[in-house]
Amino acid sequence: MVATDVDGTLINSQERISARTRQVIARMTRAGTVLALATGRPPRWIFPVLEQLNVRPTCVCANGAILYDSATDTILSTRALEPTVLHQIAAIARDTFADHGGVGFAVERAGTSAFEDASNLFATAPDYDHAWESVEHGIQEEAELFGTPAIKLLLRSTSLSSAEMFALIGPNIPQDLAHVTYSFGDGLVEVAAPGVTKEVGVRELASLIGASRQEVACFGDMPNDCEMLTWAGWGVAMGNAPDIVKQCANEVTATNDEDGVARVLERWFPATSS
């Protein structure tokens, strides 16, 4: 099995999968190797990527909180933060960032389909400052925002980078309460249920298809990829990854704009094998 991150890894800076990458993935899947996407994106945000592939893989979404079968639009499993925990983390975050410009809150929910009304799946507090343009979201007061389980709590700062936020909030959230990571550089930290990482989802999927750890290769470029890169039989960091990610990998390939994923896969699935 090959599990790959999406942003900064499988797709280039133009959010496209290159022809070279598509071709080697086609050879790989014809040879019987299973492709999985392992992404921080929720299911509703992966179809622009899937439309560029010749397969509809099972996807590890929301950093491992959702296992999603894209071929049948089926949520296979979820791991959520309960309302009491959401309120507790929000209180910790509010205290942590009080002297650093404050913090905004948003939640991702699993729902039952990638095509469910987006305002039910992604909701923000009224004062939330979006990290990217969004027109498909609900706006809720905190009592409602934190009133139902969520697969991801987003903490947003407009004055700190994601790494700076992580350094502040990470030590303040016990590991048995929640897992904290980030996959975007501009002031956004992602909080999930305890122990929920991409590794968890990749391991679950590998078990479902009967693949051992040594039969799994993973690709990634951000700190939320580190656990799966370390766990995999072969972990590959992108050339555009920060050093903390490269140190988790067995090898470092070229950047996502230089077909880094394809360069590795071509060693195992060369054009002459098709």
**pLDDT of residue 274 exceeding 70:** no
Q: Give residue 99's pLDDT.
A: 97
3-class DSSP state for residue 217? strand
What domains, with CATH codes, occur in the chain? Answer: 2-78+197-273 (3.40.50.1000), 83-192 (3.30.1240)
Question: What average pLDDT does the chain have?
Answer: 95
- Lowest mean pLDDT segment, chosen from 134-138, 152-156, 181-185: 134-138
218 DSSP β-pair partners: 3, 235
What's the DSSP call for residue 7? I
**pLDDT of residue 273 exceeding 60:** no
Query: Environment class of residue 270 by beta-carbon count within 10 Å: exposed (0-12), middle (13-18) or buried (19+)?
Result: exposed
Question: CA–CA separation, 214 vs 206, rounded Å?
Answer: 10
pTM, two decimal places? 0.87
Question: CA–CA separation, 212 vs 141, rounded Å?
Answer: 45
Q: Give residue 183's pLDDT.
A: 83
Task: State the average pLDDT over residues 24-35.
Answer: 97
- Is residue 93 a contact partner of residue 82, using CB atoms and an 8 Å limit? no
**pLDDT of residue 98 exceeding 70:** yes
Distances (CA, A) of 93 to 28, 138, 274: 44, 21, 52
Question: CA–CA separation, 162 vs 189, rounded Å?
Answer: 6
Q: Give residue 184's pLDDT.
A: 82
Helix (H) or strand (E) run with residue 268 in it: helix 260-268
190 DSSP β-pair partners: 154, 181
Question: CA–CA separation, 259 vs 254, rounded Å?
Answer: 7
Q: How confident is the model at residue 216 (pLDDT cuts 50, 70, 90)?
A: very high
Q: How confident is the model at residue 7 (pLDDT cuts 50, 70, 90)?
A: very high
CB atoms within 10 A of CB 57: 23
252 DSSP β-pair partners: 237
Task: State the average pLDDT over residues 232-244.
Answer: 97
Q: Give residue 119's pLDDT.
A: 86
Residue type, 65: A
Helix (H) or strand (E) run with residue 207 in it: helix 198-209
CB atoms within 10 A of CB 170: 15
168-206 per-position pLDDT tens digit: 999 999 999 999 998 888 999 999 999 999 999 999 999
Backbone torsions φ then ψ of 153, nearest 5 degrees: -110, 125
Task: State the average pLDDT over residues 23-44.
Answer: 96
